[in-house]
Structure 1
């Protein structure tokens, strides 16, 4: 139910490295072939702090980014920029925003359900249409937790013409158990936590009875309590009726998501509409060496950001967009 993360040390090292290498990094690794514009998107809860990454020419299409779990900003601390660039190479602009409560965005992403997240994407699509960024195809790109958002939006929004799903799970509880077993977690604690979720226990009871030595904070517990029944199957079946082209990116070394289950489910429901690509990559599509070493990851992010991702990931993404 919780994805293993190393955000604290990585973020700290990244800030230090960027501060030390700022002058040289632009010349060495951060000379991306797109330009970025800050935008503010009005939504029911206030404002979303967004970035519109544009190609040099007028965009012929738009990619709308749907984040995974966690407090992610519009560029994912710069890690999305290689994706932005690949889209720009294909003539597509990319629209991404900081999750509620992150950066300048209003609200708190931990207060959201998956339905709230889908409605947020719908509001962004409405805004993008009003801005007339492009009259061309609109592609949804989403990672990890976005697997419970993408098909819900794609099934109901006629302007969406294709989907890129990166490491999506199918079922919240099965995903959590897979991650637990892959990372050597405590099964007894997990089982008791599942019982408490099923009973709708409040945070105080969870802390007192779960046996978790590192319990979730109250807002995280509330988030999980709202979303632990999430399953993408019905929304994928609804999306299948639209016969949208789908690019499914999976990593052979994913410890968060059972990629075999995901591939089976997407192929069974979407059939010929889905193109599956599997890479020598971790959950994030990062090269395994980069994923396993904080220092190597930071240095690569600063000086060779395009090489964070496994071979073929960006090339396949670029070609998928060019075909739209």
Structure 2
């Protein structure tokens, strides 16, 4: 029985694609990455470049990306991802990065990919989740992209933070007194950020209520708390965008995200919005994510089933449609031809 269970785990965690470790030079250091390619016998493939959300994320996101990479491969696309600086032995510290730093990193990875004989440089697009919402349009302002898949993407750092705070308090059934105290604490943090307070000032202001904040994390927030994607999104006009939103997202105000995306991008007719009512912020099924045991067992025995119904197929169908469209007919191609005039330079943070 034990041998049978091991066999099931190995089979379910084997994916129909080839994977290779790659090294990408950027800014005097190396990005440690993984390139996953379809097993379809073709010499060249389009590419989906993955932009992580917040946190110390490795190239495969603890293998959580692999079901998506397999879906991409079924559509004829390779996938590229890399360890954040400081993760899995990679040089640097991801907490030292601004959103512009992360965009520069992704642009360098695209330049690297375009130089490879097995990648079709005209069919390179972006996939990004959560915090990547601030990075995706910045990348598109630096280098032409064929498409963008934005998953649970954020718009405004401070608004997202307040939404998340209130959503968690509601989920916890917090009292009015506790809610008011947490809001007051959040307001204190914002005032400290506005006057560029250092970490020691933050600790003094919070006392024993620092919630595990570290000096590196405070530095990261200080660099990025003014992030807002609204103006940067104009760089995606004319580029096919798939916006994927979850029905149980307590991290990002999905209604606000959809409103801004439609306001900025809908006029070009290249925006597709997909809602997954049973999904959480990470696009996992809520019924699974709310149980650590269910999450662990599903990841072992049926990892593709972790995701909301239709999520993997939705990405595959979007990419298949892109792959079937001749280059000269795509909105992305038109945007590429317009060049710098259609691009909005990334705003300084």
Query: Above 0.5 in TM-score?
Result: yes
Counterpart of 2:146? 161
SS in 1 for 2:84: coil
Point out the structure with max Rg over C-alpha.
2
Q: Deviations over 1:208-258 (max 9, x none)?
A: 103534141000000000000000011102332xx0000000001000000
> Are 2:241 and 1:258 equivalent residues in the alignment?
no
Mapped pair 1:107 → 2:105: no
- Which residue number corresponds to residue 284 of structure 1? 282
Return the TM-score normalized by structure 2. 0.84
Counterpart residue number, 1:35 = 18
SS of the residue corresponding to residue 186 of structure 1 reads helix
Question: Quick one: which of 221, 230, 235 aligns to 1:233?
Answer: 230
Specify the SS of the correspondent of 2:119. coil
Q: Match for residue 313 of structure 2? A: 315
Q: What TM-score comes out, normalization by structure 1 length? A: 0.90
Once the two structures are TM-superposed, the CA of residue 43 in structure 1 deviates from its matched residue by 1.2
Counterpart among 80, 97, 116 of residue 65 in structure 2: 80
Q: Could you tell me whether the CA contact under 8 Å between 1:74 and 1:97 is conserved in 2? A: yes
Number of matched pairs: 302
- Secondary structure class of the residue paired with 1:51: strand
Aligned-partner SS, 1:137: strand
Question: Helix, strand or coil: the match of 1:323?
Answer: helix
Q: Distance in 1 between matches of 2:229 and 2:210?
A: 31
Q: Partner residue of 1:71?
A: 56
| 1:1-324 correspondence runs (5 A) | 23-57=6-40, 58-135=43-120, 136-158=122-144, 160-184=145-169, 186-210=182-206, 212-240=209-237, 243-271=238-266, 272-279=269-276, 280-324=278-322
CA–CA separation in structure 1 for the residues paired with 2:18 and 2:224: 36
Q: What SS does the aligned partner of 1:233 have? A: coil
Q: 1:215 to 1:189 in 2, by over 3 A?
A: farther
Please report how far the alpha carbon of residue 21 of structure 1 lies from its aligned counterpart in structure 2 after TM superposition: 9.7
Q: Contact 2:242–2:274 (CA<8 Å) still a contact in 1? A: yes
- Cα distance in 2 between the residues matched to 1:21 and 1:192: 56
Equivalent residues of 2:243, 2:272 under 8 A apart = yes
Deviation, 1:187, is 1.1
Name the CA distance, whole Å, in 2 between partners of 1:21 and 1:196: 57
Using a 3 Å threshold, how does the CA distance of structure 1 residues 59 and 251 change in structure 2: closer, same or farther? farther
2:329 aligns to what?
Answer: none
Gap runs ≥5 in structure 2: 170-180, 323-349
RMSD: 1.6
Within 2, Cα distance between the matches of 1:236 and 1:168? 12
Instruction: Provide the C-alpha distance between the structure 1 equivalents of 2:191 and 2:102, rounded to a whole number of angstroms.
Output: 26
| SS, match of residue 252 in structure 1 | strand
